């Protein structure tokens, strides 16, 4: 059971977190990098995808980068990895609940980037 003291400490901690820029830095540590948002975006559009399916859809990505990015996203609780024990091997990736909260941001960023890429070609 939390005592008043603990509650006060937690509130204090929350204020420090909110007032500093570390929140955005923390977010970018997880979401930054060349391939992370593209992967999340593909998984959002297709619900669940297999490794090579992802690889084909992300034009230009290499095995290493796909593996690393997926591992990082999994460690941070953004992506589910389900390994089906069968031959041939089959692994399915999907977004976690935790990540669904981010989808509006993905959509906004995508639309923004799209408008600006199309605009540039004029």
Partner DNA sequence: CGGAATCCGCTGAGATACTG
Partner DNA sequence: CAGTATCTCAGCGGATTCCG
Distance CA 111, CA 107 (A): 6
CA angle at 35 for the pair 84 and 80, rounded to the nearest 5°: 30
The window from 11-19, 26-34, 95-103, 105-113 that contacts DNA (CB under 7 A) reads 26-34
Q: What's the full length of the chain, in residues?
A: 122
* Structural tokens at position 72: 């990082």
Binding mask 91-120 for DNA (x = CB under 7 A): x-x---------------------------
Residue selected from 48, 67, 108, 111 as contacting DNA according to rule CB under 7 A: 67
Q: How far is the CB of 89 from a copy of itself (least distance, A)?
A: 25
Q: What is the CA radius of gyration of the chain?
A: 18
Q: For binding to DNA (CB under 7 A), which residues are involved? A: 32-35, 50-53, 60-65, 67, 70-71, 81, 83, 88-91, 93
């Amino acid at each position: 059971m939390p005592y008043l003291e603990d509650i006060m400490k937690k509130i204090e901690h929350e204020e420090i977190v909110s007032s500093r820029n570390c929140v955005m830095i923390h977010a970018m540590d997880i979401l930054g990098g060349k391939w992370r948002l593209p992967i999340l975006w593909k998984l959002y559009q297709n619900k669940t995808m297999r490794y090579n399916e992802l690889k084909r859809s992300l034009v230009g990505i290499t095995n290493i980068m796909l593996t690393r990015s997926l591992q990082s996203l999994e460690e941070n609780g953004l992506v589910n990895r389900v390994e089906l024990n069968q031959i041939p091997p089959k692994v399915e990736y999907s977004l976690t609940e935790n990540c669904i909260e981010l989808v509006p941001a993905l959509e906004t960023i995508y639309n923004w980037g799209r408008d600006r890429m199309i605009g540039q070609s004029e």
